[in-house]
Structure 1
Amino acid sequence: MKLSGPQAMAQILAEYESGQSGSRSRWDLTFPYDQTAAKFAMATPVITPSWLSFYYPLSGQVWIGVLACTLTVCFTLVKITRRKTWQTRHGVLSTGSVVLESVGTLLGQGLYGRLSTSQSNHILVGTWLFFGVVVGTAYRASLIASLTLPRLPPRPETVEELVKVVDRVTIRSFDGSYKKFFLNSESSAYRELGSMLVGEDVMDGLNAALKMKSAHISSPLNLQLITYRNFSKLDGTSSLYLGKENLLQVSIAWPVPHDAPYTPQIDKWLRIISQAGLYEQWKKETLEAAASESRMKQREEIKQQGQDGAEHSQTNFRSLSIIHMQGPLMLLLVSITLGSVAFVVERLLVSEPHPSPSPGPTRLTFD
């Protein structure tokens, strides 16, 4: 079977590392010109729709504190308005009216002037208004931030986290030495990772990572190049990401025939290139060129789709969608449903008073 360049090199290095078939007597390695690591790539987590979008700006403790303060203020105002000496011109207010006044001021609504005019009421209402301004401002600012810059779900970054969330891990079929290395590791996480490894092409492995619980292992440069060229978006984001942890650190060298006369010259030039930072500069320029080429390609595709497609692609990620607003909409729907049920129950249980017949005209008699 005819092997490609990378496959042939991988086979030579595998034979050299294992020492089989007298490979060490036939092959040497040049000066290691670079240090690289194996990383895994996975699908970037997306924000799942949730009806609790209006709840996230404040923590659970803050919500409990606000609820406790609201109940305390409502109870105190009810007690104040029930005292005869502190009643308003409207008489004794019902508990529902006091709750509407308290919650309305917390939500930024004005007072209706139906509360008591006593000094104790003024102090309590003034403090409550100040509390409502602080809490309302903090909530609105946090809500805007959570809607426009949402927090992404947690994503695996280490080997321990990776093996817990994936069902399989793909790797190039000619990188079989990685599987052997992981299976012989003293770490249980690496042994579990080795048992999940499946040989597959890079593009097939990355496409599988987008469709199922899978990840792909390769060198960072290779993964970044393919991601920029095939999985990047116009706004600079990508549907794939690279884990932070290095699975293993390896040195890169070229295999050469044993005792080749040109090996010292190759080592000399590789040292010069490595020490001058030319290889690192080449990697940087290669990634930048791949990213720029991908953006230009996407812009050309948008131009072919027409002006409407361009405007949509530029503003789609800036506008709020139904996912952001489904929390308040669901709350409104539930409130309307409860109000309708309460209205029907009141109509069924409370009968309307029938108007009494008006007395007839009084006839005046004179003796």
Structure 2
Amino acid sequence: MDRTSFMAANGYVVLPSRLQQYGFTREYGMTSQTFVMATPSLAPRWDNLLFPLSWELGHIGRATYPDLSQSVLEVYKILLGQDFSQWRARTTASRLVVATWLVVALVVGVAYRGNLTASLTSPMYPPRPETAAEMVRVVERINIPPYGADWKKFYEASNSEVFQAIAKLLYIGPSMEEGLRLTTEKNHAVISSRSFLDYIINQNFTDATGKAKLYMAKTNLDTVFISYPIPHGAPYKPQLDRLLLAFVELLLTSSSVYLFSLSRPFISVLGCPFATVYQGLNKYLDAFYYVWLPPPQHILIYDFPAASHKKCSSVLPRSGMFLKWHKDLMEEVRAAMFNKQRRQEGRGDEATSDSQAKALTTAHMQGPFLFLVFGLVAAFFIFLVELVSRFLSCANR
């Protein structure tokens, strides 16, 4: 038997199903799982011009008047600039209709132009899911790379109805790039590590203006430990644990060192007994699981509630060097995007995506055109009705 071992540079999430297959070294960090969906877009539809109109405006000036047909005809003549000084303009009904029309035109015109300018300047995007419960209600499928079989078992074994719903929608198979591409085209979602998704979205699914086709949810699905997988009962586990402990102590700042000891029958943080630790963490944790291994060891798997995610960041910090590396990596990606934008501007190209909100276009201006057509058609039918009515009245005489 070849007594060699292979250790990958990437970590491995500690899950109950994986504990049956592998042994694990001391944990050296944490990772948060979240989901990604397509960013809602503003389609250039003509009915977007109707949104600034509030429903109250449609009821202003709605009333009944005597001899309404003559009043409507008078207003129509006024619109055409004809016959303004006729005696009908002196009737009360005509004056009321004219005054109401002027007020409605002023209110509707000012309110509509103001709201339309505001909606085009700062468009209101449709609401988007930000929690797991909202996601499972709207998506058709959740994609995860081939390694997600263990995650599917984890969600199926959970007592949470939301996690069980995720397990039913979870589809294992497509690669990360393929899954994200399907998310931009269909009503799908992708589950993966938050830091990895942040990198790949900024690199491959963000245009030169900074507009991303995908977005990450603000909340986490779960937060778990990461460690290195090793065979059960590996004799070199104590040596690896000692090296990882020194590595973690070196990377974490002294003001926020929280080391979890898995080699003792209780979890300790800076020498504090487990009861003290649990009292401090219980208010932040939704679930608290133990997995016993021979000899007695504790593996902690926990879920953060959405409202306390920011609070937990100070209780269970990640490696300072890792966060620094991730920050530098994101800055490099953004710098590359900025350079790409500068090159496109030099060539005179418009660096805009298809889903980005645009200014007034021909599609937007269909609204005023349809309003005009509707008004002309309505005026034409009213004019015909008036002619027929006048002809019938003359014939009866």
- TM-score above 0.5: yes
Report which of the two has the higher share of helix.
1
CA 1:159–1:19: 2 relative to 1, 3 Å: closer
- Name whichever of 50-59 and 93-102 sits farther off: 93-102
Q: Report if aligned partners of 1:42, 1:216 keep a CA contact under 8 Å in 2.
A: yes
- Residue in structure 2 matched with residue 40 of structure 1 by the alignment: 35
Query: Is 2:283 the counterpart of 1:283?
Result: no
Q: Report if aligned partners of 2:202, 2:333 keep a CA contact under 8 Å in 1.
A: yes
CA distance in 2, matches of 1:50, 1:157: 26
CA distance in 2, matches of 1:98, 1:271: 87
- Residue in structure 2 matching 1:71, options 37, 62, 66: 62
SS, match of residue 182 in structure 2 = helix
SS, match of residue 54 in structure 1 = helix
User: Which amino acid in structure 2 is aligned with residue 283 of structure 1?
Assistant: H
- Name whichever of 215-224 and 162-171 sits farther off: 162-171
Query: Is 2:178 the counterpart of 1:178?
Result: no
Q: Percent identity?
A: 28
CA distance in 1, matches of 2:135, 2:357: 29
CA distance in 2, matches of 1:125, 1:342: 17
Q: Report if aligned partners of 2:31, 2:193 keep a CA contact under 8 Å in 1.
A: yes
User: Which amino acid in structure 2 is aligned with residue 245 of structure 1?
Assistant: T
SS, match of residue 339 in structure 2 = helix
- Residue in structure 2 matched with residue 222 of structure 1 by the alignment: 196
CA distance in 2, matches of 1:223, 1:312: 22
Question: What is the Cα deviation at residue 100 of structure 1?
Answer: 5.3
- Residue in structure 1 matching 2:162, options 179, 184, 189: 189
- Residue in structure 2 matched with residue 94 of structure 1 by the alignment: 70
Query: Is 2:215 the counterpart of 1:241?
Result: yes
CA 1:311–1:196: 2 relative to 1, 3 Å: closer
Query: Is 2:263 the counterpart of 1:269?
Result: no
Question: What is the Cα deviation at residue 208 of structure 1?
Answer: 0.8
User: Which amino acid in structure 1 is aligned with residue 19 of structure 2?
Assistant: G
User: Which amino acid in structure 1 is aligned with residue 71 of structure 2?
Assistant: T
CA distance in 1, matches of 2:333, 2:176: 17
Q: Report if aligned partners of 2:14, 2:224 keep a CA contact under 8 Å in 1.
A: no
Q: Report if aligned partners of 2:144, 2:175 keep a CA contact under 8 Å in 1.
A: yes
Question: What is the Cα deviation at residue 207 of structure 1?
Answer: 0.4
Question: What is the Cα deviation at residue 300 of structure 1?
Answer: 3.3
Question: What is the Cα deviation at residue 265 of structure 1?
Answer: 3.8
- Residue in structure 1 matching 2:376, options 336, 339, 342: 336
Q: Deviations over 1:100-119 (max 9, x none)?
A: 599x7xxxx9xx6775499x
Q: Report if aligned partners of 1:147, 1:324 keep a CA contact under 8 Å in 2.
A: no
Question: What is the Cα deviation at residue 230 of structure 1?
Answer: 0.9
SS, match of residue 147 in structure 2 = coil
Q: Report if aligned partners of 2:209, 2:351 keep a CA contact under 8 Å in 1.
A: no
User: Which amino acid in structure 2 is aligned with residue 161 of structure 1?
Assistant: E
CA 1:161–1:317: 2 relative to 1, 3 Å: closer
Q: Deviations over 1:285-328 (max 9, x none)?
A: 2222212213323543565xx42x24888xx9553123322222
CA 1:249–1:206: 2 relative to 1, 3 Å: same
- Residue in structure 2 matching 1:162, options 135, 138, 147: 135
Q: Report if aligned partners of 2:141, 2:169 keep a CA contact under 8 Å in 1.
A: yes
- Name whichever of 174-183 and 273-282 sits farther off: 273-282
- Name whichever of 160-169 and 274-283 sits farther off: 274-283
- TM-score norm. by structure 2 comes to 0.64
Q: Deviations over 1:17-72 (max 9, x none)?
A: 54335x33xx4224x33x33211111112224544333211332x23442xxx134
Question: What is the Cα deviation at residue 191 of structure 1?
Answer: 1.0
CA distance in 2, matches of 1:58, 1:153: 18
Q: Deviations over 1:256-293 (max 9, x none)?
A: 66434353243233233233733323222222221221
CA distance in 2, matches of 1:71, 1:295: 55
- Residue in structure 2 matched with residue 86 of structure 1 by the alignment: none
CA distance in 2, matches of 1:201, 1:38: 17
- Residue in structure 1 matched with residue 337 of structure 2 by the alignment: 294
Q: Report if aligned partners of 1:171, 1:198 keep a CA contact under 8 Å in 2.
A: yes
Question: What is the Cα deviation at residue 130 of structure 1?
Answer: 7.1
Question: What is the Cα deviation at residue 210 of structure 1?
Answer: 1.4
Q: Report if aligned partners of 2:7, 2:228 keep a CA contact under 8 Å in 1.
A: no
Q: Report if aligned partners of 2:41, 2:357 keep a CA contact under 8 Å in 1.
A: no
CA distance in 2, matches of 1:218, 1:143: 39
Question: What is the Cα deviation at residue 226 of structure 1?
Answer: 0.9
Q: Report if aligned partners of 2:143, 2:191 keep a CA contact under 8 Å in 1.
A: yes
Q: Report if aligned partners of 2:46, 2:367 keep a CA contact under 8 Å in 1.
A: yes
Q: Report if aligned partners of 1:171, 1:197 keep a CA contact under 8 Å in 2.
A: yes
Question: What is the Cα deviation at residue 151 of structure 1?
Answer: 1.4
Q: Report if aligned partners of 2:344, 2:350 keep a CA contact under 8 Å in 1.
A: no
Aligned length: 310
CA 1:342–1:194: 2 relative to 1, 3 Å: same
CA 1:113–1:244: 2 relative to 1, 3 Å: farther
